[in-house]
Structure 1
Amino acid sequence: MANKGFSRGQTQVLFRHLPEAIFEHDDYGLCKVTQVALGDTEVNRDALFDAMADALAMWPADFATKYPDTRDASRRSYYAIGSPREVRFTPYPQVFRCRSCARTGKFTDLIKRGASAVGRCSCGGNLNQMRYVQAHNCGRLEELYVPSQRCPACGSGTDLAFYDPGRVKQARWYCAKCKADVQALRMTPCKCAYNNSLPPGPRAEKFLRVVPTGDPSLYIPHTVAFVNFPEDDQGRLRAAPDALQLMLARTWGLLRDSVSDTVRERASLGKPEDADMTASLVEQLRKLQPNNPVVREYDAKKKQPKGQTEIDRVNELLKACKVTSPGAPRRWLAEHTTLLDKTDVSTIADVASMLRRSGDEDGALDIEEGQRKASELLGIGNIRVVNDFPLALCAYGYTRTARDPSRTIITPFPVDERGRIPVYAIAAETEALWFELDPLKVYGWLLQNGITGGTMPASREEAWARLYVEVPGLREAPHEPAYGQLEAVAIRTLLHTMSHLFLRRVEWSGFAPSSVGEYLIPGSLSFILYANRHAETKIGGLTTLFEQRLNTWLWDAVQSGRECVYDPICEDDGGSCAGCTHREHSCISFNRELSRATVYGGPTPQSSAFEGTKLKHGYWRDAWKAAPVK
């Protein structure tokens, strides 16, 4: 094992130097990571395991069997969580080729044939590592197979050489002595769960592929992001009496105060020791001054505790939808309300006021115009900037040869000395843009396209309640039965597509699209675009975009989203491909549930839950009215 100093940042380790990855060391050449030691990290473990469960649910059940179920609290002890601290590695592969005579073999065999231990061939040439390995969709990795047979022409067993023209199909083994052909590269068969899922008969995917060591598909780490709030705070919030109703009231815009403050004040009224002392003091004051404001305030609070009006209203809305037992708050609801209450959030009104105070009336009018267009024409109810978005990113495994869960088996990192599967996590605060759609317009869009039935809600709060009750798939995890509900798929596809279309033009912020991640909260009709930086400093690109270029960016994204280099083929085939909505990296759903038809109208993908149905009404059908006035 190599021990020479080797310095890399945590983010770089998370994407390039995790266990089983191959990289090139400055001194040792090609190496394979054997272990990454874990350091301490402050992450919300419940949120991490929930996010892991959602991510693993993207794979077919037979392709994720190597993982203990993270939804089962009793099995979470099989995992070890920490930040990447120390990378340990070993030279790999151990197959070498002479640059002069092309003789090739395992290093130990070449030593026996006269090569020196310092990397010199028996002919005096330099020995270099072979830059090819074998890999399979199941995660298996092997060194290149070195033939053991003698030359069929001269019978030599020590002069095996490798012809490398730069193309795997043309590479061959030959005899360096007589130049006779020995054999082509071997296709090694694999017996695995992935092969068992393939139809009978010969298929190239049933064999290990010969892959260059520098090919990005050789090792693809899989990460998942989650909102990282203190575990204790979130736990107390979710366990509080009437927590669900208060969180729904906050999410639906009924409750103006923070949920945590409301819960704290309600709890203080319920503590016997505090209540007795306060009551005694108030009663003494009442005898002296019956109309004292403090006495009146105390009587009002006792009669109607803080937040009770909002709780009653939520219960009334849910009862109208025939829900009597709404259940406990889910993670998405805690995330949404805690983002509102515990982070530094700036609204468009805040920015407009700031611009006016600095004398920039034109800038204030421009951002207010952007808000008006977003609300009236794009169906976006709120756009906010989160200056301290609490993000955590965890790496939970890897795949080889492909990223798509339908074509690969997800493999966990090798277990540590205690038999636990390592999960590498880093936490940071970053900047983010938070979009929330208008529930009335979303419900109307479902009705107009025949995706749901019934009548139009009379108000936003009624629309929120009906979406909550009628579309349970929005708040369920991928492994739950209602997740595939058509209405839920439609709304998630709408949110996901809008997220990708805005990301296409995020260069206005100074960030490349690959440097900005996305986070969806379908239950609150929200998506968040965040700077994918895990460092102490913030660049401020998204904040500047929000404050100075919001109106221009919104129009540019909406207009450019109509175009795809593969139209009209792409448009007729569902409006989703590598030329328009697909992201090469950082897509949380592996480019699933995407279609430009949701925003512009048109045919949907045949492979989706829509089954190619044509949507007559795009969510942005009025977006053309947002064109800048010259």
Structure 2
Amino acid sequence: MRVERGASQILFGLLPGQTVDLEGRIWKVAKWSDPIVVTIDQETVRSVLLQAAFPWTQNDKDDGLAQQLRTRTPIEIVKLNEDRGVLVEPFPKQWRCKTCNRVTQQAPGDRCKCSAIKNWAQMQFVAFHGCGASKEPYIRRCPQHNAVAVRLPGTESARELFFYCPECPKFQQYGFPFQRCECTSDDNKNAQMSINVHRAGQVFSPQFAVVVNPPDPADAARARATGGGAKALEWVLNGMQESNPTAGRQTPAELIAALRQGFPGLSDETLNDMVQRAVDSGEMAASDTPPLDLPQAVLELAQEEALNLSSAVLTGRVRIREMVDAAGPPLRSLYEGRYLDAVAEARLASVDLLTNFPVATLAYGFTRGDSTPGESRLVTFKERGRTRAYASLARTEALLFQLDPVAIHRYLFAARCHLLTPSGDARNARIDILRNVTMPTPVQEDPQQLGRELLTVLHSYAHRTIRKLSTFAGIERDSLAEYLLPHHLSFVVYAVARGDFVLGGLQACFETNLHRVLEEIAEGESRCPLDPGCRSGGGACMACLHLGEPSCRWFNRFLDRSALFGRSGLLSL
């Protein structure tokens, strides 16, 4: 049997171990035939999967994934081989005669004892366990006649199925009998299997992670090995003016970063001495900027985010100033006037169009049972002893928003009374924020106050932007997603790719209606329809700021309208 499906349909609906309806029958996916190995930067994959699997890791139910990632064991990433497709097999192998209701494991087409021919309906129920196992449910048969029939209740409840012998009235039973799993799971001492219809979310719930803007592995390794993170960080601190952030000669800061990457055991004193010797000998020019006085952990995170930003713009970036130079008189007036005014009024440093933004969706495992993250055991995909993730790679359009660092610094310094150093300079404002911030994780319960407030204003701004953009761009809200770069006060709104097709709504909005979007963000209605309840309950709800799970990877946490509006809000200062 050959059935045509798109690559994205297969990723979301035809993963190994998953059941699917095809051509009027039920099948289970055995494997992807000869999938193609995809090279994605393993450091990026490691970071994303550790975050995605955290709810299972903290409950010790992650199938050893976190330990594997921390020891830097590679994850095999594969995509669909469209010439070979997916191999499926009939499942469950149980059929009911629609004439007499007898249940059998015969292949469809065989004659039933009631003389009906080719009148079989496949049973839809599956026995499953949290360990990942699934099989046909055990059905007792009449011990005297070795036969069984079933009367369907008209619902999908397995408990209401009535089994009986079609030959005698002695054998009758409601529901399926107890069925033990063959695993040695600690989750259930009896290892009892549950039974449900094959389409139920409890039977198979795939778990996905989105790797946004994955860099080319060779480029990423080369950048890290040569201290490219330091160069990228300097590029961000200076306002991202250059088109190529990695160009130019290596600086002392970059050499220190490269040496630290290659020789992690060297002390800072030794590293500085080596660099100074290179400068004194004339082999390297002295830096014209003082070294960054940042905690090492923050410096590494800031450099990694800067590398992510640089890889995003290298794939294609359009800036407003470039549109000014290329536009005719009517549009030039629009871009120079209302566009730049709207950017400033919205407390932004810039808005750029990313024309070729890469997004990789990874299916890294599944659960059976409770689909709440961390409740059931996570089962990772494995092939020949190696952990595998199934991927769909796409290029899409995106908008990069950079908040004005001076405005953010003023917001944190004045409105939130944080002890930052007063600054009217963008570079110094960025450095001062980096020096004092500890950014929270998506699930952290007691984060640093400055990190929480900075993330809250950035995240709230991103959600408000998505909700406004969806209207102007003509794109469903759930078809837009966010990518936060909090250390650099930036976020990306990208269109969720559907196959190889990109609608172009964000580009059209950027070229014609950006000023209206920004005006609506800064000056549009800021009240919530559910106020005052929403305001007293945290200032964010489904009616004003919340987004669906595909759009928000931060679980709708760190959101508050008061961070944007009101007497102390960013857009009110």
TM-score, scaled to structure 1:
0.72
Give secondary structure in 1 for the equivalent of 2:80: strand
Paired residues of 2:320 and 2:335 also in contact (CA < 8 A)? no
Give the counterpart of 2:174 among 177, 183, 198.
183
Give the equivalent residue in structure 2 for 1:514. Answer: 478
Give secondary structure in 1 for the equivalent of 2:503: coil
Give the equivalent residue in structure 2 for 1:410. Answer: 378
Paired residues of 1:581 and 1:594 also in contact (CA < 8 A)? no
Shift of 1:127: 2.0
Give the counterpart of 1:251 among 215, 236, 246.
236
Gaps of 5+ in 2: 256-280
Shift of 1:534: 6.2
Shift of 1:306: 7.8
Give the equivalent residue in structure 2 for 1:488. Answer: 451
Give the equivalent residue in structure 1 for 2:367. Answer: 399
Shift of 1:542: 0.9
- Measured against aligned partners, the alpha-carbon deviations of 1:503-532 in whole angstroms (never above 9, x if no partner) come to 234142232223223222222122111122
User: Does residue 87 of structure 1 match 2:86?
Assistant: yes
Change (3 A) 1:534 1:161: closer
Give the equivalent residue in structure 1 for 2:351. Answer: 383
Give the counterpart of 2:67 among 54, 66, 69.
69
Shift of 1:25: 1.6
Q: Which amino acid aligns with 1:12?
A: Q
Q: Which amino acid aligns with 1:9?
A: G
Change (3 A) 1:399 1:599: farther
Q: Which amino acid aligns with 1:344?
A: G
Give the equivalent residue in structure 2 for 1:8. Answer: 5
User: Which segment is superposed worse, 465-474 or 177-186?
Assistant: 177-186
Give the equivalent residue in structure 2 for 1:131. Answer: 124
Give the counterpart of 2:494 among 530, 534, 553.
530
Give the counterpart of 1:541 among 493, 505, 528.
505
Q: Which amino acid aligns with 2:505?
A: G
Question: Which structure: greater helix fraction?
Answer: 1
Paired residues of 2:26 and 2:92 also in contact (CA < 8 A)? yes
Change (3 A) 1:323 1:65: closer
Give the equivalent residue in structure 1 for 2:275. Answer: none
Paired residues of 2:420 and 2:432 also in contact (CA < 8 A)? no
Change (3 A) 1:556 1:389: same
Once residues 341 and 424 of structure 2 are traced to their aligned partners in structure 1, the CA distance between those partners, rounded to angstroms, is: 26
- Measured against aligned partners, the alpha-carbon deviations of 1:153-174 in whole angstroms (never above 9, x if no partner) come to xx87623314232252873324
Once residues 331 and 367 of structure 1 are traced to their aligned partners in structure 2, the CA distance between those partners, rounded to angstroms, is: 31
Shift of 1:547: 1.3
- Measured against aligned partners, the alpha-carbon deviations of 1:95-116 in whole angstroms (never above 9, x if no partner) come to 3333333344xx43xx4xxxx7
- Measured against aligned partners, the alpha-carbon deviations of 1:319-346 in whole angstroms (never above 9, x if no partner) come to 4x78899569743221123334x23211
Give the equivalent residue in structure 1 for 2:569. Answer: 618
Give matches, 1:38-437, under 5 Å: 38-61=35-58, 62-67=60-65, 69-72=67-70, 74-76=72-74, 79-85=75-81, 86-104=85-103, 107-108=104-105, 111=106, 117-118=108-109, 121-123=112-114, 124=116, 126-135=119-128, 138=130, 140=132, 142-143=134-135, 145-148=137-140, 150=142, 158-168=147-157, 171-175=160-164, 177=166, 182-184=173-175, 210-215=195-200, 218-240=204-226, 243-253=228-238, 256-257=241-242, 258-263=244-249, 308-309=287-288, 312-313=289-290, 315=291, 318-319=292-293, 330-340=303-313, 342-357=314-329, 361-362=333-334, 365-375=337-347, 380-400=348-368, 404-413=372-381, 415-416=382-383, 418-437=384-403
Once residues 219 and 285 of structure 2 are traced to their aligned partners in structure 1, the CA distance between those partners, rounded to angstroms, is: 20
Shift of 1:429: 2.6
Aligned residues: 532
Q: Which amino acid aligns with 2:155?
A: G
Change (3 A) 1:194 1:468: farther
Gaps of 5+ in 1: 197-205, 270-301, 603-615, 623-630
Q: Which amino acid aligns with 1:8?
A: R
Give secondary structure in 1 for the equivalent of 2:362: strand
Change (3 A) 1:35 1:411: same
Shift of 1:450: 4.4
Aligned alpha-carbon RMSD (Å): 4.1
- Measured against aligned partners, the alpha-carbon deviations of 1:427-478 in whole angstroms (never above 9, x if no partner) come to 333211111222333333334564843454343222211221211336xx77
Once residues 337 and 476 of structure 2 are traced to their aligned partners in structure 1, the CA distance between those partners, rounded to angstroms, is: 28
Shift of 1:253: 1.9
Change (3 A) 1:549 1:398: farther
Change (3 A) 1:157 1:566: farther
Once residues 384 and 179 of structure 1 are traced to their aligned partners in structure 2, the CA distance between those partners, rounded to angstroms, is: 76
Q: Which amino acid aligns with 1:593?
A: R
Change (3 A) 1:60 1:189: farther
Give the counterpart of 1:468 among 434, 451, 454.
434
TM-score, scaled to structure 2:
0.78
